[in-house]
Amino acid sequence: AQSVTQLGSHVSVSEGALVLLRCNYSSSVPPYLFWYVQYPNQGLQLLLKYTTGATLVKGINGFEAEFKKSETSFHLTKPSAHMSDAAEYFCAVSEGNYGQNFVFGPGTRLSVLP
């Protein structure tokens, strides 16, 4: 069975600073990996996903993530944080070949300080 861990339940960065949100996964088959963002009292919005192919994935709002199989990681980065990036971020894994259910990580709350 797959699982996801996110190091750091709360991350604070200054506006304009680098954003780094960590995600590590375990999966018995090649994984499909996702990052979602959730604003208060709202559903989830897909930031980016990795299925196959290029390991550096670019998403919306300037975010990108790199799939590193050797490290079983899929960390999310953004070069320069904006105030509007403050939200909850969830990493998720789906077993690509036949699994259909997502397993979500516990989430990381990102605060952006002025």
Partner 1 sequence: GAVVSQHPSRVICKSGTSVKIECRSLDFQATTMFWYRQFPKKSLMLMATSNEGSKATYEQGVEKDKFLINHASLTLSTLTVTSAHPEDSSFYICSARGDTHRLTYEQYFGPGTRLTVT
Choose one: 16-24, 62-70, 78-86, 88-96; the region binding partner 1 (CB under 8 A): 88-96
Residue 78's alpha-carbon distances to 52, 82, 84, 104, 109, in angstroms, are 22, 10, 13, 21, 15
Choose one: 16-24, 36-44, 54-62, 73-81; the region binding partner 1 (CB under 8 A): 36-44
**3 counts as binding partner 1 under rule CB under 8 A:** no
Among 24, 105, 110, 112, binds partner 1 (CB under 8 A): 105
CB of 37 to partner 1, least distance (A): 11
Per-residue DSSP letters for 34-93? EEEEE-TT--EEEEEEE-SS-SEEE-GGG-EEEEETTTTEEEEEESS--GGG-EEEEEEE
Choose one: 11-19, 20-28, 69-77, 104-112; the region binding partner 1 (CB under 8 A): 104-112
CA neighbor of 110 nearest in space, from 66, 76, 62: 76
- Interface residues with partner 1 (CB under 8 A) are 32, 34, 36, 41-46, 49, 51, 90, 94, 96, 99-107, 109
